[in-house]
Amino acid sequence: MRSKFKLWSFAAALLLVAGMMLTACGPTATTSTSGPTKGGHITDGLFEEPDSLLPQQSIETYADLVDATIWAPLFYGDNTGIIQAGLAKEVPSATNGGISADAKTYTIHLRPNLKWSDGSPLTSDDVAFTLNLMKNPAYGAKTTASEFAKIATVTASDPSTVVITLSTPDVAFLALALTDPLGFAPLPKSVYGSMDPASIAKSDQNFQPTVVSGPFTIKERVKADHITVVRNPNYYQAGKPYLDQITFQIITDQNTILTQLQSHAIDTSWFLDINKLDQYKAIQGYKVVLDKAPGSFEAIYFNMKNPFLADLQVRKAITMGINVQPIIQNIWKGIAVPTCDDSVGTFAHEPSLIPCYTFNAAGAKQLLESDGFTMGSDGYYTKGGKTLELRYSTTAGKAYREQTETIVQDQLKQIGIKIDIVNHPADYYFGTQLYDYSAYDIAEFANSLGYDPDNHTQWACNQFTTAGGFNISAYCNPTVDAAINTELTNPDINARKAAFHTIHTQILQDIPVMYYYSAPDISCANAKLQNYSPSPAGPSETWNVWDWYLSK
């Protein structure tokens, strides 16, 4: 009898647990409208642990995210993709004389009275030292070393002026090499000047820099656990940051990040899982924040070395046979938006090109038949005795991509094209597979160009992967090459916009790529946290961390 009671109790407990798990959470709290208040601690859940906290020593966004709290860059990008002045007094341009007409000389003026966190002066000498350090292969700059390699000379003409001369014209130099802390932030010469450049990445400074310039300084770092930063009293923006302390807690599991948010153990987390969007929305006292302007785009690239895909009619039929709407609505729950160019999040983005693809399955079949394809008994088209069969590759383990390719596989089956899904681990895919034209036919992945729309490594005729570039479509068009030359060498923004328009429209005609959508990154934050508005590029979540404050 006693045991029976225990069984009933166990069953009742199970029912109770199931009931609790099914109970919906409360509504999202509203945000406060009161002005900035100083003080307060917050905790941010980081999905990856930063490997290095020195500029150019990591390629991780999560490193950039923490870097933005401790390093002040010369320039930073805001959440609309516009470059703003950081330590520099203003953003150099052709108009204000900061960029020479030949796009080879950049003159940068620093703000007055800049200081390192230890109170010592931050001068142009530190900037020049760091630029030369980044240029040195022994330092091992990991993100945009190719930009630093173009530096011919760096001169600190006075304590607040730096003149950089490039060996070749580069209008994107400012955006690619000098913007955001992961790209470039001056290092204190007093600390790093006496170190062997090759030993810096192996030093304790790589793990926990001691003298910094950002809004915060590192109070404590425990490997694999957390990084705590506290207010830097010598930060150049007087009165900022508003928060006293931020702790970055390393939580490398999306389910645990969700439970930490639900239990209010962390205040914010960035780059969250689309499949949990409804659960984030249901957390009481928290808000879901999407990028103001998405900066990345998902696309499929056609390998034109494949005889079928070398045929424009086949590529066109594929774009007519794929309906992106179910992917946007069902997988991305309506938060993704279509795009018809690769310049999303930059000044060259052209929403006016949308829509660029028309779903028309019957038309796609007619197009293939007029191109000489005949329907086989298995429901797939053939030509020259070969079935129209293509390998579709993407990164393994990404649920939304795997769902997308299943939808696409089904849609293309309807127009007689057989798709074989061949996925790979991300590192192998990006590191090896995409550099081998014989390894894929259609490749899907997301790309983000940052603050400058230049994407010549993907479209220029001299950028085939066999030549060291990233032209994975094996695409070549002299019109596009001419426009690329203009956008790479002309510092005038209107001339560049026109060049990008030419590139965009020509690519839509030639179809080496089909753009699926542009999706925002998802963040969830304590509703009391104000000015929290992640950027699609650079340090993303923390681009304006000095402005964050907790409302009362």
The site for other proteins (CB under 8 A) is made up of 3-4, 6-7, 17, 20-21, 23, 41, 43, 49, 51-52, 57, 59, 137-138, 140-147, 149, 176, 198, 201-203, 206-207, 222-226, 228, 245, 247, 249-253, 255-256, 259-260, 262-263, 265-266, 424-425, 427-428, 430-432, 457, 468, 470
Smallest distance from the beta carbon of 490 to other proteins, in angstroms?
22
Nearer to other proteins, 365 or 424 (CB): 424
CA 243, CA 241: separation in Å to the nearest integer?
6
The single-letter DSSP state of residue 85 is E
Nearer to other proteins, 265 or 399 (CB): 265
Nearer to other proteins, 82 or 265 (CB): 265
Smallest distance from the beta carbon of 464 to other proteins, in angstroms?
14
Nearer to other proteins, 428 or 485 (CB): 428
Cis peptide bond upstream of 355, omega within 30? yes
CA 299 vs CA 340, 345, 454, 518: distances in Å: 10, 15, 17, 9
DSSP 443-483: EEEEEE-TT----HHHH-GGGBGGGTS-BTT----HHHHHH
The single-letter DSSP state of residue 329 is I
Nearer to other proteins, 75 or 236 (CB): 75
Smallest distance from the beta carbon of 180 to other proteins, in angstroms?
14
**Radius of gyration of the chain from its Cα atoms, rounded to whole angstroms:** 26
Q: Among residues 147, 244, 130, which one has the least CA distance to residue 187?
A: 130
SS3 call for 360: coil
CA 124, CA 143: separation in Å to the nearest integer?
23
Smallest distance from the beta carbon of 123 to other proteins, in angstroms?
27
What angle do the packed helices 361-370 and 312-321 form, to 10 degrees? 160
Smallest distance from the beta carbon of 417 to other proteins, in angstroms?
28
Nearer to other proteins, 192 or 470 (CB): 470
Nearer to other proteins, 95 or 199 (CB): 199
CA 492, CA 237: separation in Å to the nearest integer?
31
Check if the beta carbon of residue 141 is closer than 8 Å to that of residue 174. Answer: no
Smallest distance from the beta carbon of 1 to other proteins, in angstroms?
10
Burial (CB < 10 A; 0-12, 13-18, 19+), residue 194, is exposed
Q: Which residues of 492-518 are buried (b: 16+ CB within 10 A; e: fewer)?
A: eeeebebbbbbbbbbbbebbbbbbbbb
SS3 call for 248: strand
Q: Which residues of 388-406 are buried (b: 16+ CB within 10 A; e: fewer)?
A: bebebbbbeebebbebbbe
Smallest distance from the beta carbon of 185 to other proteins, in angstroms?
17
Smallest distance from the beta carbon of 335 to other proteins, in angstroms?
24
Nearer to other proteins, 138 or 152 (CB): 138
Smallest distance from the beta carbon of 93 to other proteins, in angstroms?
24
Nearer to other proteins, 12 or 138 (CB): 138
Smallest distance from the beta carbon of 88 to other proteins, in angstroms?
23
Nearer to other proteins, 3 or 494 (CB): 3
